[in-house]
Amino acid sequence: MSLGRLAFGLLAPALLGMSLVGCDTTGQSMMPLAGASAGTVAFQRIDGLPEPQFRRLVQNLSDEASTRRIAVVSREGAAQYRVRGYAAEQIRGKHTVIAWVWDVYDANQQRVTRLGGEEEADNHQRGWGAADDQVLRRIAHEGMDQLASFLVAPPDRVPAPLALPPPPAPAASTVMAATAHTGDIVALAVAQ
């Protein structure tokens, strides 16, 4: 037995164990169950998707939320967080990628986080036709993973952009000038 095979034989069980950390027996990542105790969520809207893909994504989101015990309420209901989503299809060479972003707002309508990602279609469709059930399930799965992580430890709010300091007062420099009539030299302060 070579030294390389022996090293691999010893490391393989450890590497396999580390790769399975955080997965259940179905291979899906195990997120802490955010549950209703972390707050309720309402999806205000998801713009950009054609109606058929929108309906399938909503069903997938519902399934994923149920799996993670995330309390999703109707958009008319009272919710601690509201989500506004956006999706766009992008054709990159011979592949279609569906990019998505979810902005999460608190009860004061302040954005507290932005979630997002991209899913490349495995099929040979182009445009929105590429957003098949697999792609939409992956978007729902990844989105709910990110949302569950946020709900476990939400920040108070996204920090506001830093205010720019006021510009410094213009520095004055002294310029020597000669008067035309008398030839006297006069000092003038000129702003730069």
User: What is the number of residues in the chain?
Assistant: 192
Strand, helix or coil for residue 111: strand
Model confidence pLDDT, tens digit, residues 65-117:
999 999 999 989 999 999 999 999 999 988 899 999 999 999 999 999 999 99
pLDDT in tens, 22-66: 333 333 333 334 333 467 999 999 999 999 999 999 999 999 999
Q: Looking at the domain that runs over 32-192, which CATH code has it been given?
A: 3.30.160
Percent of the chain with pLDDT over 90: 48
> How is residue 117 written in tokens?
């990602």
**How far, in Å, CA of 167 to CA of 70, rounded?**
48
What are the residue boundaries of the structural domains of the chain, listed by start? 32-192
Cα 123 to Cα 132: distance, rounded to the nearest angstrom: 8
Exposed e or buried b per residue across 103-129, where buried means at least 16 C-beta atoms within 10 angstroms of its C-beta: bbbbeeeeebbebeeebebeeeeeebe
CA dist 175 to 24, 38, 83, 168, 170, Å?
Answer: 77, 67, 60, 21, 15
